[in-house]
Amino acid sequence: MSENKKLLRALAGETLPVPPVWMMRQAGRYLPEYRATRAKAGDFLTLCYTPDLAAEVTLQPIRRYDFDAAILFADILLIPDALGADLWFVTGEGPRLSTITTQADFDALKPANDIHDHLAPVYETLRILTKELPEETALIGFAGAPWTVATYMIAGRGTPDQAPAHALMRENTELFDALMDRLTKATISYLSMQIEAGAETVKLFDSWAGSLKGEAFEKYAVEPARRIISELKLKHPDVPVIAFPREAGDKYIGFAKRTGADCVALDNSVAAEWAAEHVQVDGCVQGNLASSHMVTGGQALIDETRAIVKAFSKGPHIFNLGHGITPDADPDNVQLMIDTIRT
C-alpha cells in the first residue's frame, strides 16, 4: 500500500516531482464544518475523546482538499491528562492544567504505562480512520515532545518564554528530570499504541524547542527525541518518525542524525534555501510556508510556495506550513496553495 502514498514515499527518502502536502492543524477552526462539529461536541476535550467526532474532523480537510495525509485529531496535552493532571480549556485563551512544581505534585501522577484506558478513545479514532481514509492518504499520529509538554505542566498554561519550566530546571533539576523521564516513557508508550491502532507515521511536536539553549537543547530536546525514536524503531522498525524542533535555528543541522528522525519539519524562521543546503542533505524535510500566507493569500502566497518547492526539489520534501494554520485563515487560500504545488 505504501507505494500509493506519496507521503510515505517521501519519508522513505524518495525525491518526488510534486511533493506531498498536508498542513499542521489542517482540521481546525478555519473550516466551517469543523466549527459545526465542535459545537455538536460541546467542548474541546469531548471532541478529542469522542471517536466518531474526532474521526469526522480529521476527515473534513481530506474531503475538502484531498491532502496527501490526514493527521489524527487530538491534542498534545492528552498525555498529562491521562497521567492524572487536571486539564481544561478556556474559550479564547487555551489550555489550563494543574501544575507540577513540587515532589508531591509529581508523586500524584500515574505511571507512564498506566495511560491507555484513558486514551483508548484516541486509539479507536485511529482505527476508524484506517477504514475511512482514501487508500492513497497516509495517516499520521502524533504527540508533544517531553520538553514542550513539560512547559505546560509546570506553568499550568502556555507562556511566552517558558520561564516557569526553565526556573524549575535550574532550581530543582532532580524533579525536572524525573518529569521529563516520565513524559518520555509515556510518549513512547502512547505513540507505539497509536501505531498499533493504524498510524503509518508519527510526528513529535517540540513547539518550544527554540527556547532551549546550548547544552539544555541537547539534553532536553535532542536526547528525549533520540530515546523516543530509538524505542519506537525497536518495536516498529518500518514506521517513519517526523521530528519538529520548532525554532531550532542552526540546531536543525544534524538533528536527524542525532535523533534518528526520518524527517525534520522546519518552521518558517529559516530560509528554504538554507535548509536545503544544511538540513535536507541528511534526508527528508517538511515545510515551511509561513502560515500568515493562509490569511493574506494572493500572489505572495503563489510566489513563496513556488520558491519553497523549487528550493527543496533536489531531495525528499513534504510541503507544509512552518507552523499550524490559524483560525483566521481563508479556506480558499489553502486551495490556492495546493493548486500551486500540484501545477
- Positions annotated as catalytic residues are 25, 29, 38, 75, 152
311 phi/psi in degrees, rounded to 5: -60, -35
* Cell output for 119: 486514551
Q: Which three cell numbers, joined as nine digits, stand for 255?
A: 538533528
| Those residues with Cβ within 8 angstroms of residue 289's Cβ, 6 or more apart along the chain or in another chain | 268, 301, 304, 305, 308, 319, 320, 321, 322, 337
Cα separation, 230 vs 131, whole angstroms? 29
Instruction: Please give the C-alpha separations between residue 137 and each of 133, 163, 289, 343, in angstroms, as whole numbers.
Output: 6, 40, 21, 19
Q: Are 232 and 200 in contact (CB under 8 A)?
A: no
From residue 122, how far is each of 52, 70, 196, 203 by CA, in Å? 10, 14, 12, 15
Please tell me the distance from the alpha carbon of residue 211 to that of residue 208, in angstroms, as a whole number.
6
Angstrom distances, CA of residue 166 to CA of 148, 205, 244:
11, 19, 20
